[in-house]
Amino acid sequence: MFSFLNQMPYQRGPWLLLFIGGLSLEFCALYFQHVMKLDPCVMCVYERVAMLGLTLAGLFTCIAPNYLLFRLTGFALWIASAAWGLQLALTHTDYQMNPSPFATCDFFANFPDWFKLDQWFPWMFNPIGYCDEIAWMFLGWSMPQWLIAIFAGFLALGIVFFVLQWRKK
């Protein structure tokens, strides 16, 4: 069993699955925004960027998972994106569960001048909602609470597969 798991980072399938999983969640976000008319807030937009990092990690590493440079870059992007997404989702949940006029998110996305996603792709990255508003719930959890579970799962899997690649065959 462990030999099968040890080989997974070297195969395209798991990386393709990471790409498809991240892309599916991005499509879900767009469905919530454009079909269900749920306006994304700044934290939602940043969480989308973190999910995009996971998606790109899967796509990039799928090119050549047998090469160490590709795998290490993929794992770095995977783990960093999942950790950042988890931190964002925790903060976003705090905004919703403990609303305060002193702890709010920005009204505009603060992307660097060389990476203005909100201007290049406003249909996906333009925040027009409020961070403390709970507009959707499923099984008693709000969207950022679900994202905590999702990003934590991605982070745990990233760490496990990163460690597994170094086990002796």
Active-site residue list: 41, 44, 48, 105, 131
In the numeric block, which tokens belong to residue 99? 């609303």
Helix (H, G, I), strand (E, B) or coil at 57: helix
- DSSP H helix total and E strand total for the chain: 7, 2
What is the rounded distance in angstroms from the CA atom of residue 129 to the CA atom of residue 114?
24
Q: Which amino acid is at 95?
A: Y
Beta bridge mates, 142 = 137
Burial class (CB in 10 A: 0-12, 13-18, 19+), 109: buried
Tell me 138's DSSP state. Answer: E
Half-sphere exposure of 166 (CA within 13 A, CB side): 6
Beta bridge mates, 141 = 138
What is the rounded distance in angstroms from the CA atom of residue 151 to the CA atom of residue 41?
18
